[in-house]
Structure formats: C-alpha cells, structure tokens
Amino acid sequence: RVVVVGSFNVDHVWTCACLPRPGETLAGEYHTGPGGKGFNQATATARAGAATSFVCALGDDIGGQLARALAVADGIDLRDLRSDAPTGTAGIYVDAQGRNSIVIGPGANAALSPAFVEAQRALLAGAAAVLVQLESPGDAIAHALRIAHEAGALAVLNPAPANATVAGDLLALAAAITPNETEFSGLLARHHSEDIAADSVAGMDDARLHALCRRLLPHGSVVVTLGAAGCFVSHAASLLRGDTHPHYRVAAQRVRTIDTTGAGDAFNGALVAALATAASRPFADAVGFATRYAALSTEHAGAAASMPQRADVVARFGA
Ligand code: ADP
C-alpha cells in the first residue's frame, strides 16, 4: 500500500487572452476540477495500480464533498481531518501562451497536524511507501516521514512547490527526493549556498549533476525531473536500489502534449506506485513507468483529472 499525505484543492481555472493587470477586469473561459499536489499524486498512485490511502484535511463544505466522492470513484482510502476552515482552493489564470498566475487558499490544508498524522501511525507504518509534498504544514509532513522512516517504509519527499521552505531534518528523513529543476536549484541554494540556475540543470554534465545530488541527499536517491528532457537519477553508492549504475538519465516520451499541469504529480505518483508494487524490480523500471505515465498525463487537460489509468499506459507504450 502507498500512503500519500498532502493537500486537496478545488482548482478554479480561467483561460484568458492575457493575464489580468492590477485593476483590470477580463473575461475568460472557466473550468473547475480537483487539484492540490497531495490529491493529484494520490489519484496517480491509485490509477497506476497501487492500493492507496490519502491523509489530508478538508472543510465541511462542497469542496470536501467533492474530495470524498472522487476518492470513492478511484478507490482511494480517504483519511480526512474535518476542519472548520474552507476546503483548499486555487485560483488559476492561464494566458494564450500557456503562462499562468496562481493564488492558493490553503484553508483546511493548513489544519493538517502531527497529532492527526500520529492517529494514522498504524497505516503509515504498515505501508510499503509514504509520499509527501510541501503544500501541507511542515511539522505534519515531517511526522509522516519520521513514522515511515522508523518503520522501514520507503519515505519519498517531493519538495514542491519550489517556494516552500524545507527544514534540514525533512531531507534527513527522506529515502528519496524528486525535485524539478527549479526545486533542485532552490534546495542547493538554501542548503548548500550553491548558485545553480534552474535552466542550466538539464544541460549540466552528468558527473557534476550526480555530485550535486550527492551533496543534497548523501544517504538517499534523487530524481531530478527535467520536463520534456526527462529526468536524472542519482543513488548513494551504498544503495543502488537494484540499478547497475549510481547515476543515469531517462529520456521523456514524445507525445502530443496539450497541458503539462500536474506532470510532476503524475510522475511522483506513478514512480512511488511502481516502487511499492514491484519492490524487487530495479529502480530504473519504476522510473521508466513514471516517465511513460507522466507523458500520457500531458495529453489531457487538468490536474487530478488528467491522470491516466495503468491500462492506458500499457495500451499506449506496452508493458
Ligand atoms: P513539474 O511538473 O513538477 O515541473 P516536470 O516538468 O519536470 O515536473 O515534469 C515531470 C515529468 O513529466 C518529466 O520528468 C517527464 O517525464 C514528464 N514530462 C513533462 N513534460 C513533458 C512533455 N512535454 N512531454 C513528455 N513528458 C513530459
């Protein structure tokens, strides 16, 4: 089983010709759907074929009802703290070039607590893997990683969004981290005073990239996602997780991309689902599945809604 601990948001998305300037009123095409990094990733782990539990905080409102209905539809075991605050929301403007401006209302997500996570101890300790992100309070996330770490469950930290702070002990508790280029550059700046431009990461030579990953997480595995350039994997020499090389790249699949929203969430969910359900297979196999899964997610619009089923991935790319 995979346990995802994290956020749920109702996304409100307006697609406009351009992004609104201060004082300006625009009309745009509107749609709404489920999001939040935690829920996107839990939807991905479930649809990728792993038994999934999702630990989160919801309001007593229509957003909370939406989360519960969607969890039932995807067979996700929902462990929700019921908060007085409204369910999390995100207001998203997208322009004709695909650029966006986003405001998040954390609402109930901010109520997720170490005490509520502690109440899920048996679930977390019995999981094959625990997956967390930084859209929830740091102390709650740290507690989930600590329980996983102590119980020997694979503790995976997706250090997103990039502007969230990552306490050093959070990194120490993770067996693997999955930053994108911006998050990787931010972590290196904050924890090691390394000034690496995010847009230089994909083109960096492998030995240098591996050395930077080793500084960031000396004891664990680092998967740096590189958008359409795929990803870079770096393991501690003492723990190759079934791989033959301590570092390597995996190219992205070429697909008909229409919306990359949630590509990182798709990748994380599929990676952890594959690691949890086929623990004896090489890590590279799980990365390959995550790469195919994330690519397919970009052919569909939306966040949680764009997550494909395992069968769709197999039908498209083979097993
Ligand atoms: P994030 O969404 O967190 O910024 P990335 O953009 O790095 O994360 O995307 C995560 C993964 O999704 C990549 O490693 C890649 O496998 C896949 N992906 C992203 N964009 C594309 C694309 N345009 N075509 C195919 N795969 C993609």
pLDDT in tens, the chain (319 residues): 999 999 999 999 999 999 999 999 999 999 999 999 999 999 999 999 999 999 999 999 999 999 999 999 999 999 999 999 999 999 999 998 888 899 999 999 999 999 999 999 999 999 999 999 999 999 999 999 999 999 999 999 999 999 888 887 899 999 999 999 999 999 999 999 899 999 999 999 999 999 999 999 999 999 999 999 999 999 999 999 999 999 999 999 999 998 888 999 999 999 999 999 998 999 999 999 999 999 999 999 889 999 999 999 999 998 7
Q: Ligand 1 atom 23: the closest Cα is on which residue?
A: 228
- CA dist., res. 314 & res. 122, Å (int): 33
Judge whether 241 lies within some domain: yes
Nearest CA to ligand 1 atom 2: 264
Whether ipTM tops 0.90, in short, is yes
Angle at 270 between CA 269 and CA 271, to 5 degrees: 95
Asked whether residue 103 is assigned to any structural domain, the reply reads no
Whose tokens are 């991905």? That residue is 44
CATH of the domain at 121: 3.40.1190.20
The answer to whether residue 104 sits within a structural domain is no
| Residue 3 is assigned to a structural domain of this protein | no
Question: How many structural domains comprise the chain?
Answer: 1
* Structural domain that includes position 114: 37-87+109-317
Does some domain include residue 210? Answer: yes
Centroid of ligand 1 to alpha carbon of 266 (angstroms) = 9
The size of the chain, in residues, is 319
**Cα–Cα distance measured from residue 16 to residue 44, given in angstroms and rounded to the nearest whole number:** 28
Contacting residues for 319 by C-beta, under 8 A, at least 6 apart: none
- Residue that the structure tokens 């899964």 belong to: 293
Does the bond joining 20 to the residue before it have cis omega, within 30 degrees of 0?
Answer: no
Domain membership flag for residue 298: yes
Question: 43: how many CB neighbours lie within 10 A of its CB?
Answer: 30
In a domain, 184, yes or no: yes
pTM of the model as a whole = 0.97
Ligand 1, pocket-test mutation among 222, 260, 287, 317, most atoms within 8 A of CB: 260
Tokens of 249: 């790249």
Q: Is residue 28 part of a domain?
A: no
